[in-house]
Amino acid sequence: MEQNITMAGIWRRLGSLLYEVLLLSALILFAGVAFQPLFAWLGQETWLEWVFRLYLLAVLYGYFTWCWRRGGQTLAMKTWRLRLQRQDGYPIDIKTAGLRFAIAAILLIGIPAISYLGWKARLPFKSAVFAALSWWALPYLWSVWDKDRLFLHDRLAGTVQMYEPRPPRT
């Protein structure tokens, strides 16, 4: 029996995103604790802080690519019954997963961080944070104007989140 699979609505995708933030917070805390003995041993060196940031980015990359390649779903996406696939309907491959992660990292981490660093010397703290958060919201607000209601990182990576309803009970 074939399931009825449709494109996921924006509220379902945003709900999944909020749940994903909670899960990622736990993942980052756990990964950070594993790195702390190095800080205790080597001190708060600038180079070590950069290694730590790259380590956390690698942990996130590993989590997302493993989940997306292993069925197109993270834990939050499974809970909200979403599945990530390419726009042509094929499952996510390693290239597409890496591209989507890189685009999302640039849009959600890189550009807001650069915005904050650029504005913090010229604006009060709250205004600089607001400017950075405005850039963070852009990939999600993009869906308001997108013809298929895709988030910006999905549009650029050629991916789409599909809704998979529960199968009927037999």
The one-letter amino acid at 31: A
pLDDT of residue 152: 95
* Mean of pLDDT over the chain: 90
pTM value?
Answer: 0.86
Report, as ranges of residue numbers, the positions in the chain whose pLDDT lies below 70: 1-5
Whole-angstrom distance, CA of residue 113 vs CA of residue 38 = 25
pLDDT of residue 49: 87
Contact criterion met (CB below 8 Å) for 90 and 37: no
